[in-house]
Structure 1
Amino acid sequence: MSNEGAQKKGFFLRMLDNVERIGNKLPHPFMLFIYLALGVILLSWALSSLNMSVIHPQDGETVSIQNMVSLSGLEFILSSMLDNFTGFAPLGLVLVMMFGIGLAQKVGLIETFMKKTILNAPVRLVTYVIIGVGVLGNLASDAAFVIIPPLAAMVFYSLGRHPLAGMAAGFAGVGGGFTANFLITGTDALLSGISTEVAQTVNPDLVVTPVDNYFFMAFSVLMLMIVGGWITERVIEPRLGKFNDKYADPDTISQTAEHPSKLELKGLRNAGIAAAAYILLVAATIVPPNGILRGEEGTVVPSIFLSNIIPIILFFFIIIAVAYGVTVKAITKTADVPEFMGSAMKDMSGFIVLIFAASQFIAYFEWTNLGTFIAVTSANGLEAINFTGMGLIVGFILLGAILNLFIFSGSAQWALMAPIFIPMFYFLNYDPAFIQLAYRIADSSTNIITPMNPYVPMVLAFMKKYDNRAGFGTLFSIMLPYAMSFLFIWIAIFVVWNLLGIPIGPGITPGL
């Protein structure tokens, strides 16, 4: 039995090696996005020549493929180039967050924190904690993509483990578990709002609330931690082998795993005091029923706090970094703060260049309506197959997972799919909240392997700091086991949950 298992594992690892080898033969990521943009231009010309179009399921309007090989297409390419780049949301988010995180790293706070806490933590729990924090990090929205993967890599490196495995675990938690949480988040409110609007077209009394998927999503956090931890330690780390710092950026691996000095511990204590004071200050604005950062109706979801979580996190990192830096005398004058921030920005130069090309490709894909065309055509095709029962629902999940490779925005994809599938499943006696839950499984699972994920270039840029040979093939071969495991285990749990009739939320069962 053990030999048979070894052979199966060997075959799987060889398959991942082939994925990495083929993927790394792709051009440099910058050029790859350029080629993809050219491909979108040519495909839009071919499909528009055939007068291809679809009926948008939400508003009933005809959506035609827009031809980029035209005067209007040329005008869009020229007029939108700067806006595509400067208006690319992840660009500002990443750079702004790196002001704070980079400052904390340059003054030595992050290194000291890891040496004090992670090195003394039970080694067996580190992987699972990283994935769990990544899953719960979706409360901070997309900021979690920026914070957790690089920090996880540093944690693993400090423990003598392969940093790319740590980064993979962090990215898997944030991306693969983006829709799960122990708390009610903005995602719950956003998706349930779309579901309610669509459901009331067939029954005005139907309402999907933000808590209707809570039981299943809360349980999913534990599943993702266990499965993600197992994949990291039993598949990813053995495959990566021993870390070779020959190909790493010297500045990135300059951190040591030695215990902090007394002065560093004092700095860490002062940073902790500053962090506690800041958290109490923020809590005073959201905990009281009349808190100033609550929503208009006194809600936390949605609220001013959640919609502005990024600057709140930025100020947190700046405050604790300054408290630490002043204590350890890394910061001796006010000019040191912007200098450290500028130094951190130098490390992001490769990411900025890559984003220029990626932003053009994504903008072209959206302008041509190719994403809408692919989503609606595929959804209609699945409906025409005439599946019934759980077979149809599983097919729906698989379709959603595939479409997520083309449309990264979860709300945009759900706005396309909900008008088709919520009414269809309603007449099969399935609660809209149950169908929404199926969609959330699909949307989360393949977040970490889609090239449409705007944070993939960022993760790749961080990977290259530890291994300059890394390319898209490396990233996708590492993340593929997580994506496939999350998807199929999630589906299995979903089916069993349905068969047992367990509520997926307060008072919500699969059937109406």
Structure 2
Amino acid sequence: MTTNNETAEQSGLLGRVLDKIERVGNKLPDPAMLFLMLMFAVWVISAFLSSVSFDAIDPRTDSPIVVNNLLSATALTQFLTDMVKTFTMFAPLGVVLVAMLGVGIAEHSGFINTALKQMLKVTPAKLLTPAVVVVGIISHTATDAGYVVVIPLAGVIFFTVGRHPLAGIAAAFAGVSGGFCANFIPSGIDPLLQSFTQSAAQIVDPDIQVNPLNNWFFAASSCIPITLVIWYLTDKVLEPRLNKSHKVNKDEVDLPAMEEATPQEMKAFKVASLVMLAAVVGFFSLTVPETSTLRDANGSLTSFSAPLMQSIVPLIFIFFMLPGIVYGYMTGAFKTSADVVQAMSKSMAGMSHYIVMAFFCAQFVAAFSASNLGALIAVEGAGGLKALNLSAEVTVVGMIFLVGFVNLFVGSSSAKWALIGPVLVPMLMQLNISPDLSQAAYRIGDSSSNIITPLMPYFPLVVVYCQRYVKNIGIGTLISMMLPFSLALLSIWTTWLLVYWSVGLPLGLGASYTYG
């Protein structure tokens, strides 16, 4: 039985390890310069490996992988001509800025401030952390909304109730990104992964069909261990450490005071909320008809090709902007249209550092993709796992850890599965493991290491959120904060799958554990 002294010693050891990771990580350059240095490294490595012949087959082209030399005259010329387009077409940039314009109006009008007051009245203090985590998990339904809405608001909520805001940010980040492939509600990620799984499975069985919701039951059940793990680590491990090492100077935090709402503010809040609700109901009533233009060609509302899914970010802008404007005019925070524009300007000013980081991040991501190094890492890793010829259970666990490792280099969920799936799915089918189970295992590895890789496009944005409360936060601090979550999610979620598998609970609609 573990004694209190042993527990304290273990906790102290963990703290020292995390402190060391933080110190080393914070010695890294600013994220913008880190992406620049990584881009140069990719250039050099690509030039060196471009003359090497590889046997690994790229499943996208059915031909051997060739590393492209980014230091060639043609590649450098292409880099210069595409630089502006690469930056402006960088998907996370538009997502963040458009959403933050609407959120900025709602924040600076005072609408969000009052909404938080009311939310805190009905949420028990002890359940604040799991509530944040669950909201983060559910936010996956709206693609990347969690990164630009849930994570920063979690920091505000924790700060408001006197808890450490970085603990709130970490809990939300772990729910949004670490639990990315878990959700109670089906979302666009389900048909996206299913399409790659089915095409990979048809390499062996041309007639096989995979249900788009083949992992729904497992993904929904995964929310339970994920929430409990993040809740425990936030309250018992991370927040006590943050309170000792990263104290917040409340005088330096640019947040409105959270006094009791006045009668005028409550009246404005009720009217603004009704306007927001009416806008939501009115818009989604347009999705009901089977001929709705918000559906895709097959009538689906949740596929990534559906106009509804592609409109999520503009909808966030509208659904925050409307109540923000109503609230602002009713309380006197906004007197003219210039005040509304000023609110949006303040929101953009806070994003200036992220915009700079996004420029260099976009150039690095484009270079890494053009070099084909990501494809080489993914396919060679999958081939190595196949060559080990392990038992079914060990192979599935090895696949999860492989995906978690590859995820540090290739952030896109669909890109990784497009590369790894055509190797692993047929391989596991030969071990009588169904494509449904292979996809479930992939989802775990694809999620767990998101929160510790600076190469994930939204990682620098979370650093910016943290710097709002503690100015000297760097990459190392965020990695040390999130590492326990990543390791715990990887191990406990994997264990959850093995237990789920051994009991024989259904993975999803039309799914099975065995093939053949």
Question: TM-score over 0.5 for the alignment?
Answer: yes
Verify: 1:466 aligned to 2:469, yes or no.
yes
Match of 1:194 in 2: 196
C-alpha contact (below 8 Å) 2:54/2:64 kept by paired residues: no
> C-alpha displacement at 1:475, in angstroms?
0.6
Verify: 1:428 aligned to 2:451, yes or no.
no
The code of the aligned residue for 1:164 comes to L
C-alpha contact (below 8 Å) 1:29/1:354 kept by paired residues: yes
Deviations 1:435-456 (CA, angstroms, capped at 9, x unpaired): 0110011101111112221000
Deviations 1:470-512 (CA, angstroms, capped at 9, x unpaired): 0000010011111111110011011111111221113423113
Paired residues for 1:79-478 under 5 Å: 79-241=81-243, 244-246=247-249, 250=252, 252-302=253-303, 303-478=306-481
Distance 1:46 1:197 in 2: 34
C-alpha contact (below 8 Å) 1:397/1:442 kept by paired residues: yes
Deviations 1:54-93 (CA, angstroms, capped at 9, x unpaired): 3202431222111122212321331222122111111111
- Please list every run of 5 or more consecutive structure 2 residues that lacks an aligned counterpart in the other structure: none
Distance 1:253 1:57 in 2: 50
Matched-pair identity in %: 40
* 3-state SS in 2 of match to 1:286: coil
The code of the aligned residue for 1:327 comes to M
Quick one: which of 20, 23, 27 aligns to 2:22?
20
Distance 1:249 1:387 in 2: 58
Which moves more between the two structures, 27-36 or 386-395? Answer: 27-36
Match of 1:502 in 2: 505
Cα 1:196–1:50, aligned 2, differ >3 Å: closer, same or farther?
closer
Match of 2:50 in 1: 48
Distance 2:365 2:311 in 1: 25
Which moves more between the two structures, 155-164 or 65-74? Answer: 65-74
* 3-state SS in 1 of match to 2:56: strand
Distance 1:235 1:80 in 2: 45
Deviations 1:251-303 (CA, angstroms, capped at 9, x unpaired): x4433232111111112111111111011102211234444423333322223
The code of the aligned residue for 1:90 comes to P
C-alpha contact (below 8 Å) 1:131/1:173 kept by paired residues: yes
C-alpha contact (below 8 Å) 2:222/2:496 kept by paired residues: no
C-alpha contact (below 8 Å) 2:198/2:208 kept by paired residues: yes
C-alpha contact (below 8 Å) 1:445/1:486 kept by paired residues: yes
Quick one: which of 35, 42, 50 aligns to 2:37?
35
Verify: 1:485 aligned to 2:488, yes or no.
yes
C-alpha contact (below 8 Å) 1:268/1:324 kept by paired residues: yes
C-alpha contact (below 8 Å) 1:34/1:357 kept by paired residues: yes
Paired residues for 1:71-86 under 5 Å: 71-86=73-88
Cα 1:466–1:292, aligned 2, differ >3 Å: closer, same or farther?
same
C-alpha contact (below 8 Å) 2:105/2:324 kept by paired residues: yes
Distance 1:83 1:506 in 2: 41
Distance 1:102 1:494 in 2: 41
> C-alpha displacement at 1:307, in angstroms?
2.2
C-alpha contact (below 8 Å) 1:179/1:440 kept by paired residues: yes
Distance 1:375 1:508 in 2: 26
Distance 1:140 1:386 in 2: 39
Distance 1:212 1:342 in 2: 45
Distance 2:462 2:318 in 1: 23
Distance 2:470 2:188 in 1: 36
Question: How many aligned positions are there?
Answer: 510
* 3-state SS in 2 of match to 1:64: coil
Distance 1:491 1:346 in 2: 42
Cα 1:53–1:264, aligned 2, differ >3 Å: closer, same or farther?
farther
Distance 1:295 1:59 in 2: 28
Distance 1:120 1:285 in 2: 32
Distance 2:25 2:173 in 1: 19
Cα 1:167–1:61, aligned 2, differ >3 Å: closer, same or farther?
same
C-alpha contact (below 8 Å) 2:354/2:461 kept by paired residues: yes
- Taking structure 1 as the reference length, what is the TM-score of the superposition? 0.96
Deviations 1:332-384 (CA, angstroms, capped at 9, x unpaired): 22232222111211111111111111111111111111111111111111111
> C-alpha displacement at 1:120, in angstroms?
4.6
Which moves more between the two structures, 31-40 or 91-100? Answer: 31-40
RMSD across aligned C-alpha pairs, in angstroms? 1.6
Distance 2:84 2:274 in 1: 43
The code of the aligned residue for 1:99 comes to L
Deviations 1:212-270 (CA, angstroms, capped at 9, x unpaired): 11111000112211111111101110110166333x783x4433232111111112111
Cα 1:42–1:297, aligned 2, differ >3 Å: closer, same or farther?
closer
Deviations 1:6-43 (CA, angstroms, capped at 9, x unpaired): 11111111111111011111112222112111111111
Distance 1:53 1:70 in 2: 23
The code of the aligned residue for 2:299 comes to G
Distance 2:104 2:157 in 1: 16
C-alpha contact (below 8 Å) 1:100/1:318 kept by paired residues: yes
Match of 2:59 in 1: 57
Distance 2:466 2:260 in 1: 26
The code of the aligned residue for 1:499 comes to S
Distance 1:344 1:185 in 2: 29
* 3-state SS in 2 of match to 1:448: helix
The code of the aligned residue for 2:266 comes to L
Distance 2:324 2:175 in 1: 26
> C-alpha displacement at 1:190, in angstroms?
0.6
